Amino acid sequence: MRVSVQVEAFHLGAEAEGFAQANNSAGAIVTFTGIVRDAPQGGLVAMEIEHYPGMTLKALNEIAQTAMERWSLADALVIHRYGRLAPGEQIMMVATAARHRKDAFVAAEYLMDYLKSRAPFWKKEILNDGGAGWVAARDEDEDALTRW
Amino acid sequence: MRVSVQVEAFHLGAEAEGFAQANNSAGAIVTFTGIVRDAPQGGLVAMEIEHYPGMTLKALNEIAQTAMERWSLADALVIHRYGRLAPGEQIMMVATAARHRKDAFVAAEYLMDYLKSRAPFWKKEILNDGGAGWVAARDEDEDALTRW
Amino acid sequence: MEVLYFAWVRERIGLPRERVETRAITVADLVAELCSREDRYAAAFADLSAIRVALDQELSDFDAPLQGVREVAFFPPMTGG
Amino acid sequence: MEVLYFAWVRERIGLPRERVETRAITVADLVAELCSREDRYAAAFADLSAIRVALDQELSDFDAPLQGVREVAFFPPMTGG
């Protein structure tokens, strides 16, 4: 299990390949990668991601550890960036390795649902008209937690 | 959308990276990779994968096309190998790109459920005691289709 | 028509494909005709619930008519992924 | 204790962290004390349903006691992923 909170870009290809190779007796590997999308109204210049340094790693480790135990994962990986990202840049990824595909999928969805609403990150959209705004938490993201 | 049926190994890292780069306005990328596991009783020497050349690409294209439309995917990728594979080798992968994570996840699960039970592949386990046996379809894989 | 066999169906019948001249109306008729020819067919088709059929590369079933069909394939439930 | 602010809570209050000497019993008491000090706090804490709190880096709630707590953080609902 590895959790990383970092400013630097990560290399999805290298991470996915390394994770799969390290878990080649697992059977099923799922990855999720989040990419900075343009704002709904267009004109996104950058996404600024703030986090709570003292809490972030702890929260991510707890979330990943819970997933590891609940679905008997062979391995889990969480990488989340902070700082200023341009549209098209990769923000974060998770990877799960399990014996069967169901566990790998459901654990990856669990990680994502908890990262969305329980990991101390906040996103601010910087627009090309000089405007800026904090991304509001979506009710459906909070609701997604009720299924776990 | 790309579908490939091939003997050659694919490179998960390069495929995942290429897919994510090509879909960097999509927001959410999910990949699934299947790896040859040891037999339940141990002693797996190889997994021989047979397929139905006239039908395989057609079936995979139909499955991928259905997923593209049903979840408004930005893109989908399916790679499935056949021939003789050693334990630890990657058999197949799928990737999905969507605006939101839910669609990317559910479409990838749909692709996997249909690949398992509706794409004309058959697996034979070759064991180190000289034995060999065709992998039986699992009821739970067939049942998984009922949710779609 | 061309008749194709895959996986253990192929192994039991002993060949991957063959040309069959038949007047069978449905897939089930064709199976009955093959089984009446030789034991290896009867062995392969002993439990039809364990066998799937494709007509011209589309999944079908044993009731389906064969008229106009050029390629019939028999195989066990698929195990891709 | 150390009090930390993130995202628009930080922007409204105008600083990321500060040292606060208080006898507040609960988080809600602390919030009330801060709001009574200056308008910028009252503005930031105007709608508590939009604010989350962590005590010593664990998510908590406004009823929680502050005894023994060294670090309190206020922030909007998280938007990771």
- Domain ranges across chain A: 2-147
The interface predicted TM-score of the complex, written ipTM, equals 0.95
Pair of tokens at residue A38: 């343009």
State pLDDT tens for residues C45-61: 999 999 999 999 999 99
Of C15, C61, C72, nearest in space to C41 by CA = C15
- Measured between CB atoms, does B107 come within 8 Å of chain A? no
Restricting to C residues 19-78, those with a Cβ less than 8 Å away from any Cβ of B are 54, 57-59, 71, 73, 75-78
Chain B residues inside the 8 Å CB shell of A24: 35, 87-89
pLDDT of residue B7 exceeding 90, the answer is yes
Q: Do chains C and D touch (3 or more CB pairs under 8 A)?
A: no
Residues 6+ apart with CB under 8 A from C46: none
State pLDDT tens for residues B29-57: 999 999 999 887 889 999 999 999 999 99
Q: Looking at residue B40, what is its pLDDT?
A: 79
CB contact under 8 A, A105 and B104: no
Quote the minimal CA–CA distance from D58 to chain A in Å: 7
pLDDT of residue B110 exceeding 90, the answer is yes
State pLDDT tens for residues B89-106: 999 999 999 999 999 999
State pLDDT tens for residues B57-70: 999 999 999 999 99
Quote the minimal CA–CA distance from A104 to chain B in Å: 9
Q: Looking at residue B41, what is its pLDDT?
A: 82
| A91-105: burial string, b at 16+ Cβ within 10 Å, e else | bbbbbbbbbebbbbb
Share above pLDDT 70 across residues of chain D, in percent, rounded to a whole number: 100
pLDDT of residue B112 exceeding 90, the answer is yes
Question: What fold does the segment set D2-75 form as a domain?
Answer: Ubiquitin-like (UB roll) (3.10.20)
- Measured between CB atoms, does B29 come within 8 Å of chain A? yes
CB contact under 8 A, C54 and B91: no
Distance, in Å, from the CA atom of A38 to the CA atom of A88, rounded to the nearest integer, reads 8
Backbone torsions φ then ψ of B147, nearest 5 degrees: -80, -10
Q: Looking at residue A80, what is its pLDDT?
A: 98
Question: What fold does the segment set B2-147 form as a domain?
Answer: Aldehyde Oxidoreductase; domain 3 (3.90.1170)
* Mean local confidence (pLDDT), D29-50: 96
Distance, in Å, from the CA atom of B82 to the CA atom of A146, rounded to the nearest integer, reads 41
- Domain residue extents for chain D: 2-75
Helix (H) or strand (E) holding A67: helix A53-70
How confident is the prediction for chain D on average, in pLDDT? Answer: 97
Mean pLDDT by 10 residues, chain A (148 residues): 98 98 96 92 94 97 98 98 97 97 98 96 96 92 92
Chain D residues inside the 8 Å CB shell of A121: 78-81
pTM of the shown model: 0.96
Q: Looking at residue B62, what is its pLDDT?
A: 97
Distance, in Å, from the CA atom of A32 to the CA atom of B105, rounded to the nearest integer, reads 8
Distance, in Å, from the CA atom of B54 to the CA atom of B60, rounded to the nearest integer, reads 12
Q: Looking at residue A39, what is its pLDDT?
A: 80
